[in-house]
Chains A and B, each alone.
Chain A
């Protein structure tokens, strides 16, 4: 789970403290899934992606504590991509044939194009934020269970409003109302999560 109350900048401040395990755990929880999703999008299987994430996170921590990454001078995204892409390239070289067969076109994404990699990263971050937002909507909001169910059936599953209404014993009008409420809540959650990433830096 994300800790939305602490931004990435705050977490990075905490990482300077040798014993601050909590900050590291939070930071790790936020970025490890992203590195995994990023690596998988670039053609790795889940086990390899997990290895890349492990090495990326640990190496980042070491470099950060050694003062190599300065928050004000560059985006965290670029730094993490910089670490991860060499691990990904190694693995892709070793197992190129298998992975092309197994994963299709994604294995051909050009690792030398920073713009492409940044695009993949942002896309995965956005996807994770949305997934997390939906998950929170289900479990972490005050919206009634029925409201959220109506929203999911209507939006996620694409059921017809009348079918949703029948299943949940609501009026069609109420189904729309539920959708509206959840959308509003979802937007708030997404905004909050995006703010937590807080990765403007100074230069891209």
Chain B
């Protein structure tokens, strides 16, 4: 009721009246007399003034004007909502009634911003991308111009975030390998575009979308350039950008892009931009900052030196540094020649193969190959064995091919002789062995593909043999192409051989696995499994092998429970159908141990590891180097659950083995020394036992000496040993020396790690707390230990064991400070954290 004694109209009614709704006169009269309603009307009038200015701004060329809004239909697409509004265009989520699918619909912003150039680029994007068909490139479904002249582009809708957001939110949490996997996907997509003559020229984080499965999609080919032949720009296409005009984003622009104009731009420009994004993802910062006017910006891009990413993130190692810096070389001639080459090097790194960026150093290549094959009888021998192995694989496969079709006997015989001759010739005559065998495979492949008259079955077998050789050589791209060609023979119905068909599917699974494309691998293994079960039933070695590979793939995908079940099936079949000593059984056991450990099923993992160790000893003898490696891992697992006696026994045996195979000055040996020290120090710290501190300090000194020679100061192995040294000094009653070392470690960690929040930093703080406590500085000790424990607890990647240790340490420091309640609280929490899981 108003003060006039009548019922006031609702606010909505006043709104309607103010906006001129019919039959509102009574309301307006009332508002003039009623103070309350008068105030509401005044407010509405003010709104009207505001809304008029909105209308004026928006209609007089405001950038939002003329754009579709939700509910509108454009070319048969119903606009749902806005996904992204950038400087040039706006992207909506839209629904296509006819196909019932949601899409992304992009339109250009209107007003003075839509220049003729922009409209031309926009239309050309549709034409260019229509020719690209790759899972890493956003698919363009449709494009057109509506009756009002609004051009639009309809694309696949990617649910996820752009690379810039992904990097800022995820890079700290993700490992270097995950970052590299993501960039391999980006390289594959851009490479696909290059192979079809399209250079993107504006690759930047906002043009890369990452979906929820961590797969990258490249978009926005608005300023892409078309090549014809090797390097000839399409005259019509480049006309879109005026000669000499810079197009693209300065931050990701290559030196040649900001100086020479579009005519000099080739695929290496995209290599540079990907290199720049990779650098940011690895280092957590830009390779250089752009400051000053245009001239200074150009000078920076052309001349600024770039520090290695590892300078800013210690997780990055020298090989990744090398790859990233090679992609960012100022001189395009020294950069990776293609995006494919960059992607392949990233793949090689993931698989532990020698990277091309370091091919210049022969010593590096030899070292890498020897390391990968774990053969410690001399680098030269290792190399010869690898070569012979490769030849044998090729030859055996070719002999199979020959037998498969006697009619082509003459041809295949020539091929085998050719391979054997060339390889043997290579072995005795050349320094450039790696390059030679690869070149040879290229020549062979070309001649087989071209060779007329070879029956399809033989041709498929020969291509497969070459695929296997390439796979062994780490040439996954080539291998993939060959295996795909082989599969085409079977899928296309040219050859009807189900056994070989299943094998072709399996090969593709393997090559995708090696390329770390686990989801693709899963698909091929699934198909292989179904086919082989159909062919052989359950109890067959090939079925077991497929189960094993599928299980290992699911482990990689983090689907541990499914993986465990498959691996156990594979193990069961293999135990049943293979010889007891067959190494395939070891392989499945090993995969099972890894899978169990990932699920914190420590006890079962240890049981299986023990079983595996027994098998390795039975087959290879107790002195075999593989046994040494397994003993080390086994010992470490036993120490994790507090079985120190067994752990020490295994680690001492591992040490003996490694001293024999690797020698005292090898990082593998150092790693075992560190673990041995750790076991002794665990007994001292957690069990209260007395230990020979002189011996433990000696181990630590010896290990640190070796590790400092070859590892970065903050390499996890070296940090691990430095931590043991601090504990050893504490155990020896030298808290001052221990504190000095701990403080030095903490300072290095804080300076080098890009952010706090690493559990390693928290651990060092806990140790500093212990040192201070031992020196009687209780108050400081409690404060810093608690700070450290909090750091460990909150770090997402800290293992249970580390959380437990941090709590126990705070408990110990509190007890020493006389705060028994605090001590009991932390010790009881510690029991909850690890006690349950370890069991």
Contacts and interface: CB of A to CB of B under 8 A. Distances in A.
A23 interface: no
A138 to B, nearest CB: 6
A55 interface: yes
A126 B53 contact: yes
Interface in B665-714: none
Contact of A161 (B21, B63, B82, B245): B21
A161 B22 CA distance: 11
Interface stretch (B287-295, B497-505, B597-605, B818-826): B287-295
Interface string B36-74: 000000001011001101110111001111000111000
A176 B57 contact: no
A55 B294 contact: yes
A130 B113 CA distance: 17
A68 interface: no
Contacts of B51: 155, 179, 183, 186
B250 to A, nearest CB: 8
A134 B57 CA distance: 11
B113 A46 contact: yes
Given A40-B112, A46-B115, A130-B62, A156 B291 contact: no
A158 B19 CA distance: 13
B12 interface: yes
Interface string B85-123: 100000000000000000000000000110100000000
A183 B52 CA distance: 11
B291 A134 contact: no
Interface in A51-101: 51, 54-55, 58-59, 61-62
Interface in A169-204: 172-173, 176-177, 179-180, 183-184, 186-187, 190
Contact of B70 (A45, A145, A180): A145
A43 to B, nearest CB: 11
B82 to A, nearest CB: 5
Contact of A180 (B12, B115, B297): B12
Contacts of B372: none
Nearest to B16: A176
A75 B245 CA distance: 35
Nearest to A157: B69
A180 B58 contact: no
A104 to B, nearest CB: 11
Interface in B599-650: none
Interface in B1-28: 11-13, 15-16, 19, 21
Contacts of A61: 291
A176 B44 CA distance: 11
Contact of A131 (B63, B70, B292, B297): B63
B71 A187 contact: no
B243 interface: no
Nearest to A168: B71
A54 B251 CA distance: 12
A87 B59 CA distance: 29
B791 to A, nearest CB: 22
Contacts of A155: 51, 54-55
Contacts of A184: 47
A130 to B, nearest CB: 5
Nearest to B20: A161
| Max chain B C-beta neighbours (<10 A), residue from A148, A158, A176 | A176
B666 to A, nearest CB: 41
A149 B69 contact: yes
Given A58-B293, A183-B50, A186-B54, A135 B85 contact: yes
Interface in B401-437: none
A90 B53 CA distance: 33
Given A58-B291, A149-B69, A156 B58 contact: yes
A156 B71 contact: no
A179 B19 contact: yes
- Which 4 residue pairs spanning A and B have beta carbons closest together? A183-B47, A180-B15, A176-B16, A127-B57
Given A54-B297, A156-B58, 10 more contacts: A45-B115, A58-B291, A126-B57, A130-B54, A131-B62, A133-B54, A153-B71, A161-B19, A176-B12, A180-B44
Interface of A: 40, 45-47, 51, 54-55, 58-59, 61-62, 126-127, 130-131, 133-135, 138-139, 145, 148-149, 152-153, 155-156, 158, 161, 167-168, 172-173, 176-177, 179-180, 183-184, 186-187, 190
